[in-house]
Structure 1
């Protein structure tokens, strides 16, 4: 065998390896179309694949190195992204995943740390793609002359074809498509939709506010806290301080978040969305800041979610907040990265207490850092050294123990301090989390899309603290009567009534409230809340009584108590740890 033949065989082998390795969903997609007798879909799918294979060969066998490199980089990047996501989630990503990635791009560093194994594997695929496409064609002179007639723009054709299918199918249709081209198409379609969408203007507040029911109204939105890790049971080792305050807490837990992603839930909460007309109200409903200012409240936003260097330098907002919305906030607190991650929630509580102490009507929206992955960043000492191998003798993973410790440090302590130190009978605090967590192996913890959404991603705590005895009675009555029916969608009408708006007017725009009734079956949304592709978002039912996937959470609590030192024994040691 000649040297040219060996090189040609090597190049073809690398290309075949790249295609087979990164296109795991093709056989399943074909099986579904055949079993459903979707012949037209099968023809279109096969045509796209044939064109894509021809385009990949055209890119790899271009005679000029510059042209091969021009295509090697995007095709290898597309292959690597698809492969890395498959390792994390066990499925392909869709257009809505692209939208989620863009909205949460400030979390890229933390996500890469948490999924580091998948990142390294994806980088290996990237290198494979670069080598397979860019290496010399190693074909004879007459075949080389034929390749001169191959257009260097031919690989654009499958990108356009897949994009056309996705647009025609309202964001769907990319499943099983060639991963050398499909992610490029999804990026192009997402960018087009984001930049060309036409939306209605946000409405002004038309309701009239009377005397508020609380002078200080505080909404605390934690990060990545699952309901079954926040216990009010005396003696538990994850949230023992909250358990000592259980008489002051009106507990609506377990509840269901409005979305399974940070940016979705926070946007739906701030935009005061009506669940019955979600997409339109996302765009047109007055924001919580507009309602607060119309009711005479000073507005405060505390953002303790960390920012990447890009966000810090360029002043980017997150969770779909716009400059126009930010201008409605009287005091906007964000941290510049000088504080360690495990200390930002303590600073958030300090600021909230200070803002509440002014004596004037104030509305505070506080985004906590909470237990965001990587979980080991959530507490000052990280993982115990004896669990570095990844799992303990009882089968609880080190990751799960690290998560529990993060909840203990970043949620139990700060929220307990906020409750204990809030002064006066004229403050009401609503505490919840943006989403839950799914700890199933081989799955994303949250933010999954389409048919892969697990209800555990939306099971969250929801508690209320009020110094007003009448409000306490009303909250407790609803919590007792509608156990298991609470959701984020009840928070908007609750805030409005606390700010002084009339229940009769609120009822014309919202159904249910933490102060009234919770008759609906809890649901949450994923994917497209802005109507970029469809006016019908993806709704998912969630049984809020669903508990942990483990045999007994009490076993985990005992394990943590037996094997891990206490995070802090008193206020002095906690403060010392924060300063350290």
Structure 2
């Protein structure tokens, strides 16, 4: 029997789409076989067989309405998997979906930065949609009961994958058919987001004494790597800051709380404790509560709020309930050009400090957020990379990133250092996460086992002119090089606010004022115990993981960022 051209085209397009959107299926099966995980292999194979049957049922259904109905979600799912793989060279998991939802206000910026994947992804969607919706080229009649069963067939692999991921505490979707896996993960993530309920936060139980400072600032930069911040005179990245380095003590390189903005900021604000991460992050008093109990006026400055379209412009897991403990909330809007956001943040910080009262300020800078080209004015964007020894992305991207750091971090932190009244004031500076410039990977926020250590290596510095505090901070930085961590910031803030070191030590293991004995590490994926109370930790040696030497940094071509 001679096959019709329509049928041949349809089969060819389906095979093309399945091949383009599914990576690693055979590798996964081979791994399970070699690892002798035969039960898992049988389940994996069975889901694949059922998924292929469901694809055929959707694509060859005699009703054009049914084919069109399934063409949209199955094509969207396959395209999403293809696009993510094009950017990250890996598949995404349930925790990526949760991260995407939390950072949905950054969609436009992400599309701009990863614009190279848009056209290929749209092409995949178009081909997939045509493959599923076009006529079948078959004339076989199907009775009504069978027609209904075939129309519902794609639901079976979706449900099965949901059950597998639930059973595996958020894992188990590796190399599953991408026409269904993204749909399963999205449905499950939506359910978790809608039904997630956390216990009420505790009130502050500790009694604070006399604060060690009058003013306390926690400055959290955005996407700044540790090797792009230096207090060495004449360095090519932050020379202006280095010129006014006198009050600063350098704990860099350090390790962030997480490799994702929302997670790191939540860990800092919620005073999380690595001893019992998921419990402490959901029940601990917030940094605002500790500050107010110690008599501090509280101020929050968000230089990224203009990119949030949602009502209230709250991000990083901040809720309206949390804002009740914030006396002054600044949300810089979209009327301010991106490259001027940190200038406005510095202006507000200096204004709040000038009041002379007891104040705690938490500031989220715009920093070097992608697309980096927007973070500095046009005449500050170098055309080539500033360091030939830097292993990473294309030279233009690296140069633009360095320019963004030079403009948004070096220049603004130098101004803040010069103009601030340091009498009784201490400031802690860090970044929410690092950046991974390896080709074919996300810069940060990777999930599961695909996390690069560079995503969690950040600068960490403390500035004060109090002789006693300077001696203590300097001593810890010298005794524990490379052991700085976001998890040491919460107990440091508490002691500066006036809480007793003995009380703090009963809760936390390390502090920038005492010791940094714990090996630095950061956490990814399930911070809040949505699926499991066991967090996904990543040990990091900030020195051995740095991609280039100090000598290479010192001999970089400075002219490119001037």
TM bracket (short chain): over 0.9
Task: Look up the match of 2:163.
Answer: 164
Task: Note the 1:32-431 alignment, pairs <5 A.
Answer: 32-142=31-141, 148=147, 150-308=149-307, 310-311=309-310, 314-381=311-378, 387=384, 397-431=395-429
For 1:375 and 1:386, locate their aligned partners in 2 and report how far apart those are by CA, in whole Å: 13
The RMSD of aligned alpha carbons is: 2.1
Task: Look up the match of 1:571.
Answer: none
- Decide whether aligned partners of structure 1 residues 162 and 217 sit closer, same or farther in structure 2, where only a CA change above 3 A counts: same
For 1:391 and 1:5, locate their aligned partners in 2 and report how far apart those are by CA, in whole Å: 59
Tell whether the 8 Å contact from 2:429 to 2:461 is kept in structure 1 after alignment. yes
TM-score under structure 1 length normalisation: 0.93
Tell whether the 8 Å contact from 2:274 to 2:487 is kept in structure 1 after alignment. yes
For 1:394 and 1:257, locate their aligned partners in 2 and report how far apart those are by CA, in whole Å: 25
Across the two proteins, how many residue pairs are aligned to each other?
Answer: 559
Task: Look up the match of 1:537.
Answer: 535
Deviations along 1:480-506, whole A, 9 cap, x unmatched?
Answer: 111111100000000001111111111
Tell whether the 8 Å contact from 2:383 to 2:399 is kept in structure 1 after alignment. no
- Decide whether aligned partners of structure 1 residues 383 and 185 sit closer, same or farther in structure 2, where only a CA change above 3 A counts: farther
Deviations along 1:27-73, whole A, 9 cap, x unmatched?
Answer: 11101110011111111111111111111111112222222111111
Tell whether the 8 Å contact from 2:62 to 2:142 is kept in structure 1 after alignment. no
Deviations along 1:138-176, whole A, 9 cap, x unmatched?
Answer: 212446989635432221111000000000111111001
Task: Look up the match of 2:25.
Answer: 26
For 1:417 and 1:382, locate their aligned partners in 2 and report how far apart those are by CA, in whole Å: 20
Deviations along 1:360-381, whole A, 9 cap, x unmatched?
Answer: 1110000000001111111101
| Structure 1 unmatched ranges of 5 or more | 567-580
Moved more, 532-541 or 58-67: 58-67
For 2:495 and 2:465, locate their aligned partners in 1 and report how far apart those are by CA, in whole Å: 16
| Structure 2 unmatched ranges of 5 or more | none
Task: Note the 1:455-494 alignment, pairs <5 A.
Answer: 455-494=453-492
TM-score under structure 2 length normalisation: 0.96
Superposition deviation, residue 89 in structure 1: 1.0
Deviations along 1:407-455, whole A, 9 cap, x unmatched?
Answer: 0000001111111111142110000000011111111111111111111
Tell whether the 8 Å contact from 1:194 to 1:532 is kept in structure 2 after alignment. no
For 1:496 and 1:526, locate their aligned partners in 2 and report how far apart those are by CA, in whole Å: 25
For 1:547 and 1:231, locate their aligned partners in 2 and report how far apart those are by CA, in whole Å: 17
Tell whether the 8 Å contact from 1:306 to 1:341 is kept in structure 2 after alignment. no
For 1:413 and 1:223, locate their aligned partners in 2 and report how far apart those are by CA, in whole Å: 15
Task: Note the 1:545-556 alignment, pairs <5 A.
Answer: 545-546=543-544, 548-550=546-548, 554=552
For 2:386 and 2:212, locate their aligned partners in 1 and report how far apart those are by CA, in whole Å: 50
Tell whether the 8 Å contact from 2:58 to 2:150 is kept in structure 1 after alignment. no
Tell whether the 8 Å contact from 1:376 to 1:383 is kept in structure 2 after alignment. no
Superposition deviation, residue 557 in structure 1: 6.2
Tell whether the 8 Å contact from 1:238 to 1:557 is kept in structure 2 after alignment. no
